[in-house]
Amino acid sequence: MVRKHSLLSALSVLLFICVAFFAQAENYPYRSDYLWVTTPSHDNWLYQLNEKATVKVSLYHYGMQLETGTIHYSIGPDMLDADTQGEITLNQGIATINVGTMNKPGFRDLRLEYKEGTRVVRHHIKVGFEPDKLTPYTTQPTDFLNYWQQAIDESKAIPLDVEKTFVPQFSNNMIDCYLLKIQVYKTGQYVYGYLTVPKKDGKYPLVFSPPGAGIKPMTPEKHLFYAENGMIRFDMEIHGIRPNLDKTTYKEVSRAFGTGNNSYLVNGLDDKDSYYMKKVYVSLFRVLDYLTTEPKWDGKNLIVQGASQGGGLALVTAGLDKRVTAVAVNHPALADMAGYKAGRAGGYPHLFTRFTGMDTPEKLATLPYYDAVNFARLINVPVFMTWGYNDNTCPPTTSYIVYNTLTSDKEALITPITEHWVSTETRWKILHWIERQLH
């Protein structure tokens, strides 16, 4: 069942945002002098098809409500160009904007601007129209299962060849941390990752976490609390680049094959066998081949958990690997990537809006083999998902499509105001959900 969270009252919103400032939440610029408060006419931000939605808007400067001022707004479908725009004047500190409606399931995005001299202050809010009825554009190829099973079987001929190095920097009196280098897919092709293990003797559940998108340094610091609470955890790197290199080196590598049409996310997309992500997908299963030999693993509980690109990769793993017993996903990427062909938002990496030359028969033929939706269709273990409506990286349209596609036991934590981030509180809720799945 989807949990629908009531919208906070105007006062509660203000208090929430003050807390968010100190947490450096992304909805509002950190230490900004301006604060937007936007209140949809439905407290869960959801509407029926053809029902009109309105949003009340207030703007605060130095904590004081602006009594008057001109707000420029534009409104359009989730991730698409605006179809409506105009200006409205605050009247005693409030303006009410008609967001319109939709006759098909989806989201409308109200984008706001306020100008003070040369300063432009922006905000946005998305409201949904029966998103529980969204369905994927992506279809599953007839040879989908055979293709991936063959790729995984072929990779097993390659020795794992693991290097394991103790990392005192991330170890403490409760846990040991190791940097692993694991050969996957083909000879000489490696991935890295940090393995954190409870020091205390015993047998523990295993949590496997693929990474978010990008080419950047990584550390396990945000998730050390898993091992401190009795779980083995592996945070994975996918490019074969040592994760503890300095940031300057990573920026140079990223400029070389991490941006625009040089991005690894489109490298080789004309052919499913030459696509860069084939190595990445196969490596997920090879890494588990090694992790399941960990002496402290309990031999029963294997949970996959990831966010964004890592969320998409978690769905890939859970869809094909029958050793997985549960999966927890935050705003998954790589989902219904060709959804733009249906005239609505598609999933990250937004191939048709942020790259050029992607809409070709060859690329469209490759995408379904790598779309997280087609792996979600195969999952038969419990799933926890969380996402927000204001996300412009992994939009709510595609998160709903993933959730609607799942047929196994599932639970959702929907946090409408959230953009492309997850709070510390939600991280702990994910851990506690995982604990309830253990057997």
pTM over 0.85: yes
pLDDT for the residue 382? 98
Q: Report domain extents, the chain.
A: 2-133, 144-437
- For residues 2 and 405, the model is more confident at 405
- The answer to whether residue 362 scores a pLDDT higher than 80 is yes
- The answer to whether residue 47 scores a pLDDT higher than 80 is yes
Q: In this predicted model, what pLDDT tens digit does every residue of 163-200 receive, in sequence order?
A: 999 999 999 999 999 999 999 988 889 999 999 999 99
Helix (H, G, I), strand (E, B) or coil at 69: coil
Tokens coding 138: 């992506």
d(CA 362, CA 350): 17
- As a whole number, mean pLDDT of residues 215-221 equals 93
Q: Is 308 a catalytic residue?
A: yes
Give buried/exposed letters for 182-191 (b at 16+ CB in 10 A, else e).
Answer: bbbbeeebbb
Tokens coding 405: 């596609």
- The answer to whether residue 17 scores a pLDDT higher than 50 is no
Active-site choice (58, 350, 391, 399): 391
- The answer to whether residue 10 scores a pLDDT higher than 50 is no
Which class is 2-133 in CATH? mainly beta
pLDDT for the residue 27? 58
How much of the chain is in helix, strand and coil states, percent to nearest 5? 30, 30, 40
Lowest-pLDDT range of 252-256, 311-315, 318-322, 366-370: 252-256
d(CA 177, CA 159): 24
Q: Does this chain's domain 2-133 share its CATH topology with 144-437? A: no
pLDDT interval class at 226 (50, 70, 90): very high
d(CA 160, CA 158): 6
Residue 425: burial class (beta carbons within 10 Å; 0-12, 13-18, 19+): exposed
- The answer to whether residue 375 scores a pLDDT higher than 80 is yes
Active-site choice (283, 308, 331, 350): 308
Q: In this predicted model, what pLDDT tens digit does every residue of 390-424 receive, in sequence order?
A: 999 999 999 999 999 999 999 999 999 999 999 99
* 8 A C-beta contact, residue 383 and residue 433: no
Q: In this predicted model, what pLDDT tens digit does every residue of 297-309 receive, in sequence order?
A: 999 999 999 999 9
- The answer to whether residue 238 scores a pLDDT higher than 90 is yes
| Fold of the 144-437 domain | Rossmann fold (3.40.50)
- As a whole number, mean pLDDT of residues 34-38 equals 96
The bridge status of strand 84-89 relative to strand 70-77 is antiparallel
Instruction: Give the DSSP H or E segment for 365.
Output: helix 361-370
